[in-house]
Amino acid sequence: MGKMREKLEIIVDILKVLKGSEVTKTSIVYSANLNFKRADHYIDRMMRMGLIERSSNKYNITETGNEYLKMMNELNSIIIDQSP
């Protein structure tokens, strides 16, 4: 099946799902290719980190989440530029 995704990749995937609009947990599960148990773990962790927030039954990316996603994208492009 391939290598398990790293934690940072999963966080970035969830943030990308939330970037466009607020979504339900089910949308996060399917769009970020997670199961519900794993999604719950990451959603809880990301809410504690201030990266996402919940309003009614939908989740939104916060300003902190947007900044985190921007930094991760910049870091990723630096790493890709440095690879042989």
Q: What domains can you pick out in the chain, each with its CATH number? A: 7-82 (1.10.10.10)
Q: What is the pTM of this model?
A: 0.86
Which residues 6+ apart lie within 8 Å of 10 measured at CB? 32, 34, 38, 42
Give the C-alpha separation, 50 to 80, whole Å.
28
- The 10s digit of each residue's pLDDT in 15-32 is 999 998 899 999 999 999
- The 10s digit of each residue's pLDDT in 10-69 is 999 999 999 988 999 999 999 999 999 999 999 999 999 999 999 999 999 999 999 999
